[in-house]
């Protein structure tokens, strides 16, 4: 039988980054980022989930404590910040740490945004207006906008505040219409976990970008010398994917109907994920032996993923970085071949879900 690695052997691997867990104790955040840099990861992505930590503050701290690694913010909800003041923060980061910043803008989770009174009548219109205005401001343009949501009268950044390298502005979205908007106005798209090759291809079909467009894919990740151990560690990170919000991720899969039926037949998310076959876990996560996980990254690259972002699992995320780092070279990094920590359970939106399905009536 031909292996997945054989089919994708001539395809370069995507850039590989790691997600900084949203609930990591404060004293471990900077050691986590510094260890990720030392191990050779290309990026650290921080999240801004309601009730946890702010994305800009985390990004600034991580950038200041490291020397090389890129830092992505995934994501800033458009409804939460005036675009001109968001431009001040982003420009400051990009000026202080040139070429090391990526920023994703998105709708935010509807129930979060409604709870703070910031869910717009038309999330797509807001996203389009916001990204367009943000880009203009970061390029130093005198900006006039009188849109439905974004209203600016002769606003511009002072030349002293303009970054020499304007960061990519990505959209963290997942529904078909939001993906199409991302293809029109953004430099790339951030997809929440799980991202399978099937989902990546469908998403790119909706994005339909005419030029360069990055595709950043979050995935639960676990690597161990024993495949069963890695799959068992990854399993708890998938407990939310049976909920309706995750339908766009699941619909392209050949077992989509079976997955929906399993969730309906399960009394809880814990029961659902416990009953999930190992074959599904292997398709829905970057998990297994180092060879398995490398083959999965190559499949994602072949499907159009440019940036793979791995979400470590377990009680010891810093330790888990060691095992994930075996994916970066021809062999184990630093001779480490063991999984760090034990399986852990992530929150209801995942570790920083960057998008939301389109709400009924959104336009």
pLDDT tens digit sequence for 153-180: 999 999 999 999 999 999 999 999 999 9
Neighbours of 257 (CB within 10 A): 11
Distance CA(359)–CA(123), nearest Å, equals: 8
Does the CA dihedral 351-207-42-165 come out positive or negative? negative
DSSP conformation class of 21: P
Long-range contact list for 67-70, CB < 8 A, 24+ apart?
67/37, 68/37, 68/100, 69/33, 69/36, 69/37, 69/41, 69/42, 69/43, 69/44, 69/100, 70/17, 70/42, 70/43, 70/44, 70/99, 70/100, 70/101, 70/102
| C-alpha 162, offset from chain centre | 27
Q: How many CB atoms lie within 10 A of CB 14?
A: 23
**pLDDT tens per residue across span 84-119:** 999 999 999 999 999 999 999 999 999 999 999 999
Query: What is the arithmetic mean of pLDDT over 189-205?
Result: 98
Q: What is the pTM of this model?
A: 0.88
- Does the structure show a pLDDT above 90 at 7? no
Q: How far apart are CA 29 and CA 24, in angstroms?
A: 6
pLDDT at 13: 57
pLDDT given for residue 320 in this prediction: 94
Q: Are 124 and 95 spatial neighbours (Cβ–Cβ below 8 Å)?
A: no
SS3 category, 84: helix
- In this prediction, residue 182 carries a pLDDT of 98
Q: CA-based Rg of the chain, rounded to a whole angstrom? A: 20
Classified as helix, coil or strand, 27 is helix
**Window from 20-34, 38-52, 90-104, 342-356 with minimum mean pLDDT:** 342-356
Proportion of the chain above pLDDT 90, given as a percent: 84
Coil, strand, or helix at residue 284? helix
Q: Report CA-CA distances (Å) from 9 to 15, 197, 249, 299.
A: 16, 16, 26, 9
Gap between the Cα atoms of 29 and 65, Å rounded:
10
304 phi-psi bin (left φ>0, alpha ψ -120 to 50, beta other): left
Q: Give the pLDDT of residue 335.
A: 35
Residue-level pLDDT at 314: 86
Q: Give the range among 12-26, 69-83, 275-289 with minimum mean pLDDT.
A: 12-26
């Amino acid at each position: 039988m031909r292996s997945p690695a054989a089919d994708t052997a001539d395809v370069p691997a995507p850039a590989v980054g790691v997600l900084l867990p949203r609930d990591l104790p404060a004293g471990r955040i900077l050691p986590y980022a510094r260890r990720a840099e030392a191990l050779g990861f290309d990026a650290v992505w921080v999240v801004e989930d309601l009730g946890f930590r702010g994305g800009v503050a985390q990004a600034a701290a991580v950038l200041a404590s490291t020397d090389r690694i890129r830092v992505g913010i995934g994501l800033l909800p458009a409804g939460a910040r005036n675009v001109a003041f968001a431009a001040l923060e982003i420009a400051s980061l990009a000026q202080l740490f040139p070429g090391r910043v990526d920023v994703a803008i998105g709708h935010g989770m509807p129930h979060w945004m409604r709870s703070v009174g910031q869910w717009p009548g038309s999330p797509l219109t807001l996203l389009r207006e916001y990204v367009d205005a943000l880009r203009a401001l970061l390029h130093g343009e005198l900006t006039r906008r009188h849109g439905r949501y974004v209203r600016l009268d002769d606003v511009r950044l002072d030349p002293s505040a303009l970054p020499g390298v304007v960061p990519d502005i990505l959209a963290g979205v997942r529904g078909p219409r939001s993906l199409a908007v991302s293809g029109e106005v953004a430099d790339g798209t951030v997809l929440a976990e799980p991202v399978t090759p099937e989902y990546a291809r469908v998403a790119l079909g909706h994005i339909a970008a005419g030029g360069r467009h990055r595709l950043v894919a979050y995935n639960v990740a676990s690597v161990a010398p024993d495949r069963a151990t890695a799959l068992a560690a990854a399993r708890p990170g998938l407990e939310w994917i049976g909920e309706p919000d995750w339908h766009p991720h699941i619909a392209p899969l050949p077992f989509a109907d079976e997955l929906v039926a399993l969730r309906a037949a399960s009394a809880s998310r814990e029961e659902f994920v416990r009953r999930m076959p190992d074959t599904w876990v292997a398709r829905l996560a970057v998990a297994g032996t180092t060879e398995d996980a490398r083959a999965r990254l190559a499949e994602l690259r072949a499907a159009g993923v440019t940036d793979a972002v791995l979400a470590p699992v377990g009680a010891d995320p810093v330790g888990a970085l060691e095992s994930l780092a075996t994916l970066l070279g021809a062999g184990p990094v630093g001779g480490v071949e063991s999984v760090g920590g034990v399986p852990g359970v992530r929150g209801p939106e995942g570790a920083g879900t960057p998008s939301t399905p389109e709400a009924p009536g959104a336009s």
